[in-house]
Amino acid sequence: MQGRDLVFEIGTEELPSSAVYSAIEQLQVSVPKALDSARLEYGTVAIVASPRRIVVLVSELSDRQPDAVERHKGPAAKAAFDEAGNPTKAAEGFARGKGVDVSALEVVDDEGGAYVYATVETTGAPAIEVLPALLARLAENLEWAKSQRWGSGDARFPRPVRWLLALFGTDIVPVHFAGLQAGRVTYGHRFLSSGVIEVGAAFEYPTLLERGRVIVDHESRAKALREGIEKAAASAGGRAVVPEKTFAEVVNLVEWPTVAVGTFDEAFLEVPREMLEYAMGGHQRYFPLERADGSLDNRFLVAHNGDPERTQQIIAGHERVIRARLADAAFFYREDLKVPLEKWLAKLDDVVFQEKLGTAGEKVERNERLTAELATMLEAPADESAIASRAAHLAKADLVTNAVIEFTDLQGVMGRYYATAAGEEPAVALAIEEHYRPRFAGDAVPSTLAGRLVSIADKTDTICGIFAAGMAPKGSADPFALRRSAIGILQMALAGTAVTLDALIAAALEPLVAKTGADAEATGAQIKAFFITRLETILKDRGHAYDTVEAVLAVAGDDPADALARCEALSAARERSREAFEDLSVAFTRAKNLADPELGTGADRALMGPAEVALADALDAARSTADELLEARAYSALLEGYAGLRGPIDDFFDGVMVMDTDISLRENRLRLLNDFVALFERFADFGRLAG
């Protein structure tokens, strides 16, 4: 396919890094969709961006739309024409809407009867005529977390839009957006270029931008930044600490990255490392340096967007900024250490956790109670229970310390330091820090049982409390991060902390129902469903088929670890004997549809024929080991026994008239099917297996 290249650039004041990534993600979807919808053929689409520009690059875009012939179905023929064959208003309106004469309508018999059709021939428009509106819509339809109107126009953008460039080959595409009309002028690096760059043809754009000291492709810029960090760290004789979150943000803070080394006073190294790293990375987007032994160095890396010739002046400015930041951190840390951790607890009574749920102090009391109940449920060793109890008591104390008020992401971390300084056991201090884990998908769970007990209690109290307060998450809104908390609890359960949801929810709800007046049964059911939805997603993400997951959760969702074990066994069994389990699924569904639970189980062998006796014998054999296998969670062996029922149940349905006219025979056969269904449902709802 031959065509011309297209470039569309929205030039702005410096955008937030998150807005750059958001625009890239949106346009990667919307641009191909818009071109396809406009019937414009193209080679490739690339979305690139930097702090001052969002750019669409399309290769080999066709010069015009192809001609099109479309057939449109209209009203039924009897509604379109009267008895004399004259067109009705329905036919005339349909023809007018499609831009054809009513005489051109055709009557076609299809499966639904006779209908009127219109054939519409459309001549393809030149791309240069289609593109202005198409590109303007792409810009207008971008959605932002935060935006506002700039100037007199209606366009909303995170930062003011300063210029537009749009070229199709060498031709300017007259796009109008944000009160501007596109031309062929762009701008290079704010400090390292002469400014204005005139682009003659779309294919020249990336090269001309690079000459203007702009690496417009964010992936290439990331590579250059990483290489700069590694080179600077090596020259300083250290190793850079590069959190991916900070790195990803810095990629979109610079257009031509230069990495340099700064220093701070070694005395600040007495402050906890996490505070220093937070001040450098979280606040200033610097990259700390480590020494060969893994300890923190008093040097850091900064990626700046300025003139490399002025690096020393730029670094001096950054050193002044970080000196002030670290001085604050050191002050907060020293002041906090003057007060034992236990004494900070009283201040939690002045902090509202949630209006209907009381103060943070009250939440601590509920966490302590639930932690103790969990320890009893799980038969935790006495020493772990004592550690968990103490950790639950102190876990939230650091929330009101100076350090955590300033460095909020260090909650728990500072609690560990302050607990250690107060003489608490190391295991208590560790549990205080780790009880916030897992904080996100893929994060590690707490490393000790005590930490997991406190974590589960804290997260469960929050979930149950917000539900009891009538503030369950709706749509994408989840201000209390309940989905994340539920996933965290399930991660811990699947990692071996054998909680059961019903018992956990009931224990957590007891004091919350008393406080809020919520309906315990209805709220508990809501919360259980909330957990099951998350568990279903986790199990599917682990590679289990949707119908395997649904079949298991239909009967065994209360114990997440058990549900996982059942899914693993059923997935493996279906992989080994797919045909057998497809047949069993069909037989189970047929049996369940016929079965009558009111008749109970225990069929009378005296009323059985050979096929019924064979099925009853097979059921007895499977039942004889089922209790033991279910108790031991030996699900592979259990399913092997179930697979052995395939022949007997098939023979039963092939040779027995279940709904016999003799009521005693019919009811006896239904009891036998009740036995079959009941045995299978002890493991999963096999009727949900799709085959």
Q: What sign results for the dihedral spanned by CA atoms 645, 650, 651, 655?
A: positive
d(CA 27, CA 320): 40
Q: Which residue is it, tokens 């054998």?
A: 498
Cβ-contact 382, 434 below 8 angstroms: no
Q: Running DSSP on this structure, what letter comes out for residue 447?
A: S
What pLDDT shows up at residue 408?
Answer: 94
pTM for the model stands at 0.81
Distant-in-sequence, close-in-space partners of 629: CB < 8 Å, separation ≥ 6: 635, 637, 638, 641
Mean pLDDT, all residues of the chain = 93
Question: Which sequence spans correspond to the domains of the chain?
Answer: 4-64+126-211, 69-122, 218-337, 344-541, 560-688
How would residue 587 be classed by pLDDT, with cut points 50, 70 and 90? confident
How, if at all, do strands 4-12 and 161-168 pair?
A: antiparallel
Q: What is the CA radius of gyration of the chain?
A: 34
CATH number for 344-541 (one of 1.10.3470, 1.10.3210, 3.30.2420, 3.40.50): it is 1.10.3210
- Candidates 65, 105, 97, 63; CA nearest to 81 is 105
Residue 271 has pLDDT above 70, yes or no: yes
Q: How many of the other CB atoms lie within 10 Å of CB of 76?
A: 15
- Model confidence pLDDT, tens digit, residues 630-648: 999 999 999 988 888 888 9
What pLDDT shows up at residue 1?
Answer: 56
Q: What is the mean pLDDT of residues 274-286?
A: 91
d(CA 254, CA 222): 10
Q: What is the mean pLDDT of residues 258-275?
A: 96
How would residue 691 be classed by pLDDT, with cut points 50, 70 and 90? low
What pLDDT shows up at residue 259?
Answer: 95
Structure tokens at 105: 């309508």
Q: What is the mean pLDDT of residues 555-569?
A: 95
Q: How many of the other CB atoms lie within 10 Å of CB of 10?
A: 28
Helices and strands: H and E segment counts in the chain: 26, 20
Whole-Å CA distances, 85 to 77, 80, 81, 92, 399: 10, 9, 5, 13, 82
- Model confidence pLDDT, tens digit, residues 208-225: 999 999 999 999 999 999
Q: Say what percent of the chain tops pLDDT 90.
A: 77
Structure tokens at 300: 């850091």
- Candidates 90, 41, 83, 47; CA nearest to 66 is 41
d(CA 201, CA 612): 82
Worst-scoring range by mean pLDDT, 116-125, 330-339, 548-557?
Answer: 116-125
Residue 499 has pLDDT above 70, yes or no: yes
- Model confidence pLDDT, tens digit, residues 136-163: 999 999 999 999 888 777 889 999 999 9
